[in-house]
A = this chain, B = another copy of it.
Amino acid sequence: MNFLILAAGTRNKVVQYFKKTFDEVGTVVATDASELGPAIYEADKHYIVPHITAPGYIDVILDICKKEKIDGVLSLIDPELSLLAQHEEEFKAVGTTVIGSSYDLCEMALDKMQMYEWLKSHGYNCARSWMNKEEFYKAVEDGEVTYPVFVKPYRGSASISISKVYDKETVDLLFAHSKDLMIQEFLNGQEIGADVYIDMISGEVVSIFTKKKILMRAGETDKAVSFKDPELFKLIEKFVLEAGYRGQIDIDIFDINGQYYISEVNPRFGGGYPHAFEAGCNHMRLILNNLNGVANQKNIGAYEEGIYMMKYNEVKIVRK
């Protein structure tokens, strides 16, 4: 069983975990657009590939799959998820399974407004959002929402150009200077991260790891502690099955006075996944089982509470 990790970037831990899990059974190959992506050097073999928007990119990846006899593939960056889903059949034709969700779900994860509409219409607590600022002002007047709010591009990664805004004047100013903005209610509560694996064969939610993010006074968010709440597991399972995700996903959730709000979904391994792995939730093993045609048993919450994770900088050294 050989595995391919696309756009490995700085996600050395994820490549290390795949290598550890596939050690006895096959080869782990990684790609990056740059020779300075440190994670490729953790793999058994690596390729420098064009940028995902370059013409012929997908053919380069399919060629690697054929040459290296790749059984499973996934990407670690958002814009590539839809691309893999789109070409799932071509990968299948060369014997490679794409570990990931459907094209529509990958696209929805990129579009915060579409995600909001879906969550709202399916009855999940979530941050109220507006594309139309006049409708937002009316909601303020009606007492439905209060400042501060976030103003951000409705499409776009993580925290790029997100403004926390305290008044109408600033909302007007931002909307006058940028297109495609949305206004989102500010959720003020305990931030939670969930790492979830949905079996590629059975479609069941087989593993959930949840952690509370710890905010430090200096603004660091790179610490967390594992916890368990059966109610939260139930909510995650219901949401994930209803939406139809597959493979690895990462969910951001807020706990506001005992109510869980779903904030964001990344249908891939998130930056906080090492916490789950180190606590015993080896999702690489679940992927390996699926590639072997074995459906995983449901084993939700298979970890201990009170396991603290703290990030620090490691260095990869390459001589050229």
Interface residues of A (CB under 8 A from B): 10-13, 34, 36-39, 214, 216, 222-223, 271, 274-275, 278-279, 304, 306-320
Contact = CB atoms under 8 A, between A and B. Distances in A.
B306 A310 contact: no
Nearest to A275: B315
B278 A304 contact: no
13 contacts: A10-B311, A10-B313, A13-B315, A36-B216, A36-B223, A37-B310, A38-B311, A275-B317, A304-B319, A306-B320, A307-B317, A309-B316, A309-B317
B36 A312 contact: no
Given A36-B223, A214-B36, A319-B304, A10 B310 contact: yes
Q: Which among A39, A310, A311, A313 has the highest number of chain B CB atoms within 10 Å?
A: A310
A320 B319 CA distance: 40
Contacts of A34: 216
Nearest to A42: B312
A278 B313 CA distance: 14
A249 to B, nearest CB: 20
A316 B306 contact: no
Given A38-B310, A39-B312, A304-B319, 7 more contacts: A34-B216, A36-B310, A37-B310, A307-B317, A310-B318, A311-B315, A312-B313
Contact of A271 (B313, B319, B320): B313
Contacts of A310: 10, 36-38, 315-316, 318
Contacts of A309: 315-317
A312 B314 contact: yes
Given A11-B312, A311-B10, A312-B12, A317 B38 contact: no
Contacts of A304: 319
Nearest to A318: B308
Contact of A314 (B37, B214, B271, B311): B311
A193 to B, nearest CB: 13
A36 to B, nearest CB: 5
A144 to B, nearest CB: 33
Contacts of A316: 309-312
Given A36-B216, A214-B36, A223-B36, A308 B319 contact: yes
A312 B274 contact: no
B274 A315 contact: yes
Complex A-B, nearest 9 residue pairs according to Cβ-Cβ distance, in ascending order: A314-B314, A38-B310, A10-B312, A12-B312, A278-B317, A308-B318, A274-B315, A310-B316, A311-B313
Contacts of A306: 319-320
B36 A308 contact: yes
Nearest to A273: B315
B312 A38 contact: yes
